[in-house]
Amino acid sequence: MQQQQIAVSGLGGQGVLFVTKLLAEAALRKDLSVLVSETHGMAQRGGHVIGHLKVFTYDAHTAPCTTDALISSPLTSPLIRPGCADVLLALHQESLETHGYLLRPDGQVFCHRSPPKAPGDIDAVGLAKKLGNAVAANMVLLGYAVAQGALFCSIEDLTAVLAQTAGTRAALSLKALEAGAQAASEARMD
């Protein structure tokens, strides 16, 4: 893997920041380098929230950790430029309209939409409600995307991070992640 740029978008309270941090932790555990930024100004009032995540392989032999090396790197800022995101995880349909401009033309979109209307759509909230809590919709969407091979990590990588970092919600988060992965498996069989 050279690099992957991932945008995570949703509305305040949907767990955008948690998904971004979870992916960043998974990257670090794989000895990958990470740049992360978040925008969540009005998030507490249901406003748009976005997490920018850049994951890349850092070659210490060709790019020593100096200011010059950082300046010459193609990834010098955590913010994803318009048309450069490899993957957009949209926790809400409005996220596509608001942050869809970040996605490159051949990028992949995974979106919570009920009912699903396009490839990459999943009723993440509906599946999370079946598990007992709509709050876990972010984990359903993440499981759906990772099981489709769209992300730098595996379901096992995310499971390991969740088991250690999700606290009292670990059990629900793990079930939701698996439900998303199962939905991806079923979608491939259709």
- The SS3 of residue 30 is coil
CA distance 75 to 63: 12
For the domain that residue 101 is a member of, what is the CATH number?
3.40.920.10
Which pLDDT band, with edges at 50, 70 and 90, does 103 fall under?
Answer: very high
By mean pLDDT, which of 59-68, 105-114, 124-133 is the weakest? 59-68
- The SS3 of residue 131 is coil
Which pLDDT value is given to residue 139? 96
Number of domains in the chain: 1
Give 23-79 pLDDT, tens digit per residue: 999 999 999 999 999 886 665 666 788 999 999 987 655 554 545 444 445 677 899
| β-sheet bridge partners, residue 34 | 55
CA separation (Å) from 77 to 34, 52, 88, 168? 11, 10, 18, 34
Which pLDDT value is given to residue 8? 96
Domain with 108 in it: 3-187
Q: Tell me the whole-structure pTM to 2 decimals.
A: 0.88
CA distance 103 to 155: 23
Residue 137: other Cβ atoms inside 10 A: 26
CA distance 168 to 172: 9
